[in-house]
Amino acid sequence: MTQALAFLYNPHRFMAFSAWAAPLLGALALGLAAAGLWLGFTAPEDYQQGDTVRIMFIHVPAAWLGLFVYLCMGGASFLSLVFRQALADAAARAAAPLGAVFTGLALATGSLWGKPMWGTWWVWDARLTSVFVLFLFYLAYMALRAAIDDEAKGARAAAILALVGLVNVPVVHWSVEWWNTLHQGRTVFAAGGSRAASVFLVPLFLMSLSYMAGFGSLWLVRIRGEVWRRRAAAAEARLAR
């Protein structure tokens, strides 16, 4: 693990690696999404949820990814804060908008599902609220980064905030058990095996992998962009001298 990270720390090696890894992951994401969506739309209707069960194939992976991206961002922030790795900081910065999009997607699709199933667009259930809080954490992270002019200082302040926000992640995860109100409890990873039927589990699984690969691809592309931006800024500074 540390060796893999040490390999990627080197920007040159990272650029060489990501040049083929990003398109590969992107193609993988598209293929998995095609398979997952095909199986999802040909799956039988759920006996309770009817056709709306298909929203789950979009919604559930987005909610997972919202959390997962925050973990990635927190890990990258830790590396940049403790080991002062410039590339780790670029990774944290690149992850934030992606995570915000995934959480936003989870909130929007959850709302679309909630209207026919619960009869309301939004309920102040603990789990919805904590995903909303996660979304606000992404916004706060990006706002803090944008508000500090000195880039190095802004990066470290944002990294501290990301680590503080990691405290929120377990709250999101276990809030279902803490305040089990309207949102259904865990189904896929429930104790004693999954409670979902396999016709729904397979497309869900494929869609999750697709989201994961898509995130990996976009993340690499964004980190590459960040590296290019810094190289351009460095070149500009050299020219100005």
Chain residues that interact with other proteins, rule: CB under 8 A: 81, 126, 129-130, 133, 136-137, 139-140, 143-144, 147-150, 153-154, 156-157, 160-161, 163-165, 167-168, 171, 179
For other proteins, the closer CB: 172 or 206: 172
Of the candidates 204, 217, 178, 216, the one whose C-alpha atom is nearest the C-alpha of residue 63 is 204
CA distance 237 to 155: 19
Give the count of beta carbons closer than 10 Å to the beta carbon of residue 50: 11
Least CB distance to other proteins at residue 160 (A): 5
For other proteins, the closer CB: 95 or 172: 172
For other proteins, the closer CB: 54 or 125: 125
Least CB distance to other proteins at residue 122 (A): 16
Contacts of 174 (CB under 8 A, 6+ apart): none
For other proteins, the closer CB: 37 or 166: 166
Cα 45 to Cα 50, 51, 52, 73, 149: the distances in Å are 5, 5, 8, 37, 53
Least CB distance to other proteins at residue 59 (A): 22
Least CB distance to other proteins at residue 71 (A): 17
Q: Does an H or E element contain 227, and which?
A: helix 198-240
Residue pair 91/219 in contact (Cβ under 8 Å)? The answer is yes
Residue pair 169/74 in contact (Cβ under 8 Å)? The answer is yes
For other proteins, the closer CB: 138 or 200: 138
Least CB distance to other proteins at residue 182 (A): 15
Give the count of beta carbons closer than 10 Å to the beta carbon of residue 66: 24
Q: What is the largest CA-CA distance in the chain?
A: 70
For other proteins, the closer CB: 163 or 188: 163
Q: What is the DSSP string of 153-170?
A: HHHHHHHHHHHHHHTHHH
Least CB distance to other proteins at residue 96 (A): 14
